[in-house]
Amino acid sequence: FPQKKAATAPRIPPTRLALHHFDVTYSLQLRDRWPSVRAGLLCEQKYGALLNNFSAVRHVAQELELLNATDFVSPAPKKEAGRGDGVSPEGSGEGRTAVRAETVTQAGTSPPLRASICSNIRCYTFPRGDITRFRPARPDTLGLLDYYLMDAASLLPVLALNVQPDDFVLDLCAAPGGKTLALLQTGICVHLAANDVSISRTKRLYQILHSYVPREIRETVRVTSYDGRDWGQLEGGTFHKVLVDVPCTTDRHSVMEQDNNIFHRRRTKERQMLPMLQLQLLMAGILATKPGGEVVYSTCSLSPLQNEHVIERAVEVAETQYNISVQVEDLSHFRTLFQDTFSFFSDCRLGELVLPHLTANFGPMYFCKLRRM
């Protein structure tokens, strides 16, 4: 009888396994902030409406503004111009400032945001504490939808990439396609390669391009389904900008959804191997860039093992195995520019991390920028 009972006992669902794992690890990392972040992860995610500049639908911005939504991207250049002194925002923590001082000195100063933000990206969000939902997107006369609903924090890696006219750009892990679409919304990303190893996910990418982008623009995007880890050998030293938005534990999905959950017992080995896969993809991205080119690495995880540790290891591997010097760029100004919209983790050692928060329930979203010297 006890054996039968054991055989039929319900297995612990992967969402509970994920939450237990996060309780153990993230409470150490985030300390007194973890209860707030945990509550955010377990509540409905907040979205942004990325306006589709290819759609002929008029007055969408006015309609959203009447609902009290605002474009969080456009005001940034004015704040950036007002900043001008290169000073990191307050509250960055002493240890963090020390890391920053070294990287800023080596990397020098570069205009971080103005180009991309002036290139038409507009994304509307409701104010902090406002949990209004956006209506579904509507098609124009040609069938192109008027906006794309996404976690607004997902735009930050695209803004950090800072695409310039004539840049050759690679989106290495492009599906399902939100960041690829955002790159096209700049209006200047005319040499774009979008890759994803999964054929089924690549189909989703095609669907998004078809729903939002006119055919003549779609046809300029090179969509492929290679293993991203091989890209350094396929087309090394080719791109000015590379986005490496890697597979990760997708923390919010892991605590909310049973389907396709990385914490399912059958996927334990796959989950344990994630940091290695992430490192291999980031290295491929670094090798794919031209000297002087830039890579933005991103995850939707809070885990330092998938975030800062992958960055540190990549810098080390690039130096020791490939004799390539890679510089971590300073993105601390993002906290100043977007603090009204997102809740940032001030003690992130390298890169920036958006924390879920009940009043601003975006993320998690980690992003870090590297320059191949």
Q: Which residues are catalytic?
A: 300
Other Cβ atoms closer than 10 A to 173: 21
Question: What does 282-316 look like in DSSP terms, one character per residue?
Answer: HHHHHHHEEEEEEEEEEES---TTTTHHHHHHHHH
Please check if 230 is assigned to a binding site: no
Please check if 76 is assigned to a binding site: no
Q: Which pairing describes strands 239-245 and 70-71: parallel, antiparallel, or unpaired?
A: unpaired
Please check if 330 is assigned to a binding site: no
Backbone angles phi, psi at 361, to 5 degrees: -85, 60
Q: Residue 349 and residue 33: Cα distance in Å, rounded?
A: 16
Please check if 176 is assigned to a binding site: yes
Please check if 214 is assigned to a binding site: no
How many CA atoms lie within 13 Å of 11's alpha carbon, on the beta-carbon side? 9
Going by C-alpha positions, the residue among 296, 244, 297, 308 that lies closest to residue 112 is 296
CB burial class (10 A; 0-12, 13-18, 19+) of residue 299?
A: buried
CB burial class (10 A; 0-12, 13-18, 19+) of residue 109?
A: exposed
Please check if 130 is assigned to a binding site: no
| Six-digit token string for 331 | 């993105």
Please check if 82 is assigned to a binding site: no
Question: What does 179-200 look like in DSSP terms, one character per residue?
Answer: HHHHHHHTS---EEEEE-S-HH
Q: Which pairing describes strands 221-224 and 191-195: parallel, antiparallel, or unpaired?
A: parallel
Residue in this structure with the two tokens 């492009």, named with its chain if needed: 174
Show Cβ contacts of residue 136 under 8 Å, excluding neighbours closer than 6 positions. Answer: none
Backbone angles phi, psi at 249, to 5 degrees: -75, 0
Backbone angles phi, psi at 103, to 5 degrees: -70, -40
Please check if 178 is assigned to a binding site: yes
Please check if 10 is assigned to a binding site: no
Please check if 175 is assigned to a binding site: yes
Beta bridge partners of 50: 123, 148
Residue in this structure with the two tokens 């195995």, named with its chain if needed: 321
| Six-digit token string for 315 | 């810098």
CA 174 to chain centre: 11
Residue in this structure with the two tokens 């002036």, named with its chain if needed: 118
Residues flagged as binding site: 173-179, 196, 227, 245
Residues flagged as binding site for S-adenosyl-L-methionine: 173-179, 196, 227, 245
